[in-house]
Amino acid sequence: MSENLTYKATDEDEGARLDKVLATAWPDQSRSRIKALIEDGQLSVNGAPATKMSAKVKTGDVFDLIVPEPEMAEPVPEDIKLDVLYEDDDLLVINKPAGMVVHPAAGNESGTLVNALLAHCGDSLSGIGGVKRPGIVHRLDKDTSGAMVVAKNDTAHRALSNLFAEDKDNIDRAYIAVVWGVPKPLNGDIEGNIGRSPRNRKKMAVVKNAGKHALTHYKTLQYRNDSLASLVECRLATGRTHQIRVHMNHIGHSLVCDPVYGRNRTLQKFNLETQEILNAFNKQALHARTLGFLHPRTGKYISTEAPIPEDLLALMEALELYL
C-alpha cells in the first residue's frame, strides 16, 4: 500500500527551500527520493500540485505527499561473478570491471551490474532506487572500473543516498587517472559548474551560468621526464556526471585514451610498443581506487581499495608511470 504523509510548515520554515524542509519533516525519506516523487506528481502544496524543489516555503503551507510502495525490480537475475571488496547485511562494496554497465538501459538490457546484484543479493536488494536501479546509490561510467557501494535494504539505501548527496566530509572517493601532460600546479583544486555542453548535448562541460557546482581535488603522483603524461590522484568533493574527465580536460590535461573528452595526441613521440598499447586501450584511463564512508547503521568507518586492473597497470608501465 502507498503511504500518505502530511506536514504543515512552521515559522522556522519560512523562506527555506521546499526540499530541505520536507527532508527534515520526513527524515525517513531521502532528498533524492522526495525529488523523484515530486517529479512524479506525488506532492501537493495547499491542495495544488508542486513541481519545484527550490520553491520557498511559507508559514502555514500544508504539504501532502503520496509515497508509493517500492517497486519490484524488473531486470532478471544473472549469475555474473562479482568482485566483492566488503559485504554485510546492509550493503556491499564491489570492484566494478571496466565495460560493465551499472543498470539496464536501451541497448544494455542484460549483463549489467544490477542483473548480477539481483542474483547475488536475492530478495534483500533494495527496491527504493527504482525499477531499473535497485540498490544503486551512485554509479561509475561503463568504462570506468573500481569501487562502488550498493545498498541491500531500504534503510541503508536512504542513509547512503543522503550521505553521498549531502555529507561529503564523511566520504572518501579517490581515483587513479593517467592524463596527458603535467598539471601546473602539480597539486590543486578544479572548481567549476558542470552541465550539458552548449556545443554538444551528448557531452558534459564546465559551464558558467548553469549546471551544478563541482569540485575536484587533484594530486600529481608521478610524471614522465619528457612531460608527455602523468599519473594523477583525484578526490571528489562532489559527484557530477563525468566530473573527473570534464575537469581534467578543462585544465588542458584530458585522460589518456578518453574516447569522449580526449584530445588528439601525437603517438609517434612514443616507441612502437607503447603506441600499440595506447591504440589498444580504447577507454578512459580512470579507476575508482579508494572508497571510504561511515556505515549507515553501525557508524563504523568502512574503507575499501579496489586493485588496479591489469590493462591499466600495463598502460601505466608502458608510459613509465608507477605507484
DSSP-assigned letter for residue 169: G
Copy the grid coordinates of residue 169.
Answer: 566530509
Residue type, 289: R
Q: Which of 13, 141, 143, 258 is catalytic?
A: 141
CA distances to 127, 255, 315 from 233, rounded to whole Å, are 34, 12, 16
Q: What separation, in Å, do the N-terminal and C-terminal C-alpha atoms of the chain show?
A: 53
**89 vs 182: CA distance, rounded Å:** 44
* DSSP E strands, the chain: 3-8, 43-45, 48-49, 62-67, 84-87, 91-96, 145-151, 171-180, 187-191, 194-196, 204-206, 215-223, 229-236, 286-294, 301-305
Residues 6+ apart with CB under 8 A from 12: none
**303 vs 310: CA distance, rounded Å:** 22
Q: What are phi and psi of 67, to 5 degrees?
A: -110, 105
Sign of the torsion angle spanned by Cα atoms 222, 224, 225, 227: negative
For every residue of 203-232, DSSP letters joined together read SEEE-SSSSB--EEEEEEEEE-TTSSEEEE
Catalytic site includes residue 141: yes
Contact (Cβ atoms closer than 8 angstroms) between residue 37 and residue 65: yes
Sign of the torsion angle spanned by Cα atoms 178, 184, 187, 191: negative
So which residues are the catalytic ones? 141
